[in-house]
Amino acid sequence: MKNYDVIVIGTGAGNIVTDAALAKGLSVAVIERGRFGGTCLNRGCIPTKVMVTAANRVREAREGSRIGVYADNVRMDWDVVSKRVWKKIDESPAIRTYYEQFPNVDTYSGTASFLDNHTLSVALDGGKSLTMKGKKIFIATGGRTNIPAIPGLEEAGYVDSEKFFGPDFPKKPYESLLIIGGGPIGCEFAHIFNAAGTKVTIVQHNVRLLPKEEPVVSDFLLGEFRRLGIAVELNKETLGVTGKDGKKVLSFRDRTTGEEGTAEAEEILVAPGIRPMTELLHLENTDVRLDSRGYIETNEFLETTAEGIWALGDVNGKAPFRHKANYEAEILAHNLFSDNPPDHWRWADYSAVPAVTYTYPEAAHVGMTEEEAKKKGHTVETAMNHYSTSAKGYALGFEPGDPDDGFVKLVIDKKTKDILGAHIVGPEASILIQPFVDALMAGSHTIHPIHEDIASETAKKLRALPLTRTLAPRSVYTFSETMTPHPSLSEVVMWTRYYYEKK
């Protein structure tokens, strides 16, 4: 049985922890069940945004007439787009090759499961298995599509993001596509395939598209989707799937009226949300506690209820974004693998996690919605401003009253004038949201315990101080502790600090 200083399960944001441990000369085991690089590289934000960007260019060209630009026969070359998608995904093997050059790291392709708090069994892809022990274990296994139990779905067949970016990747755009789920993943795929010429239908259980956005943002995008020819069925309970004349037919019922209907398509994409990749870890053999949804509960230092085990990324249920996972990994690297004493430790603050949906147009937010702020006891004021009021907005072709005139909505505390939340829908919302993220994170912070019963002795002492930290607005290091939506062009600015620190 091998013994390691550090075991990292998952090779997405977990690689940041691995790099920090390697820099300290520690022995490290890296375990990956799928392709190295994690969800983001292989089936998430990177390949989807390659496709989204192509779809955006199609949309912009087709709508250029509003500013006097005309383009004929604008179309998406699926072969070129596909090659660019797989060029990024095929970077996966290089990640493993990179780690294999270090004498103090072992990489394993296989499925890890716990035998106790510090002992793992790994079922290797080749059929063999082995056991190992680790002093520090980091769980970064991510999430997977939450497939609903719809009668006939398995028999009819479907794709989700895991299957889509694999052998089932289409050789050409579908003629028609039915998407189950109107959250970020479903909406982004709807935009991609609509721009590619596919007849798209979304069937959404909620009464709104993107239900975590401000209602005015959801309504705006609903109008845009329908204007672009995307059919949207809201507030629908899915009843079953059957086959008819080579098509897949989904039956559904309105959750309010009880009226039933159907939608059919060449393919069904299932995108109702994610669930954590915890079921194969056999955490019942450990002291790690899960919540009612199956996510690993962690505190503000990413500690679990088991000493010496930490969890980061999608698997802890805080927010399913790569930038949030990177943020958590940077905290662990700073606290556990540097020379910083505990009174200089960082902790996770989830009050300013930016979120972006890369539709056309983009939707972005950070902080609270108006309803959330009121529920927390704030006396709320709001402010809105449309793209058309600015010179650049006019240059883009927006006029007051246009149905697609995007906007910014701020949620403000009436007494303190503090910004509680910012919500944007329109071109480049992913970039425009960044100043609000920076503003919400700058300044002095006092530690806010998460799951107070999860606490190492160090955590207890730091909470008792209480630990405080000031993020100076002008400091290059403040970038290290402020999230930037991934993947947005704001990362070009944010990652500059990384290259500065590595000089």
When pLDDT is cut at 50, 70 and 90, the band that residue 495 belongs to is: confident
Query: Is the pLDDT confidence value at 502 over 70?
Result: no
Predicted confidence (pLDDT) at residue 178 exceeds the cutoff of 80: yes
- Average pLDDT of 291-310? 97
> What is the residue whose two structure tokens read 């691995």?
18
Nearest to 271 by CA among 48, 502, 32: 48
Mean pLDDT of 104-113: 97
Kindly provide the b/e burial profile for residues 470-497, where b requires at least 16 CB atoms within 10 angstroms of the residue's own CB.
ebeeeeeebbbbbbbbbbbebbeebeeb
pLDDT band at 238 (very low <50, low <70, confident <90, very high): very high
Please report the pLDDT score of residue 207 as a whole number: 98
Superfamily covering domain 153-272: FAD/NAD(P)-binding domain (3.50.50.60)
CA separation for the pair 53, 470 (Å, rounded): 37
pLDDT at residue 357 is higher than 70: yes
Whether cis (ω within 30° of 0) applies to the bond prior to 487 is: yes
The domains spanning 2-43+88-143+275-344 and 153-272 adopt the same CATH topology: yes
Question: Could you read off the pLDDT of 435-460 as tens digits, one per residue?
Answer: 999 999 999 999 999 999 999 999 99
Give the C-alpha separation, 244 to 157, whole Å.
Answer: 13
Quote the CATH superfamily of domain 2-43+88-143+275-344: FAD/NAD(P)-binding domain (3.50.50.60)
Looking at residue 497, its pLDDT comes to 79
Residues with Cβ < 8 Å from 142, sequence gap 6 or more? 10, 12, 38, 39, 276, 277, 313, 314, 315
Q: What are the boundaries of each domain within the chain?
A: 2-43+88-143+275-344, 153-272, 350-442+482-501
CATH architecture classification, 350-442+482-501:
2-Layer Sandwich (3.30)
Residue 414 pLDDT: 97
Average pLDDT (292-315) is 97
- Residue 480 has what pLDDT? 78
Strand partners, 247: 244
pLDDT at 481: 87
Closest C-alpha to 193, from 271, 110, 257, 94:
271
Average pLDDT over residues 463-479: 90
Nearest to 321 by CA among 212, 425, 200: 212
pLDDT in tens, 367-384: 999 999 999 999 999 999
For residue 503, what pLDDT is reported?
59
Exposure of 180 in the CB half-sphere (CA atoms within 13 A)? 30
Pairing of strands 247-254, 380-386: unpaired
Mean pLDDT, the chain, integer: 96
Number of helices (H), then strands (E), in the chain: 17, 22
- Encode pLDDT of 44-80 as tens digits: 999 999 999 999 999 999 999 999 999 988 999 999 9
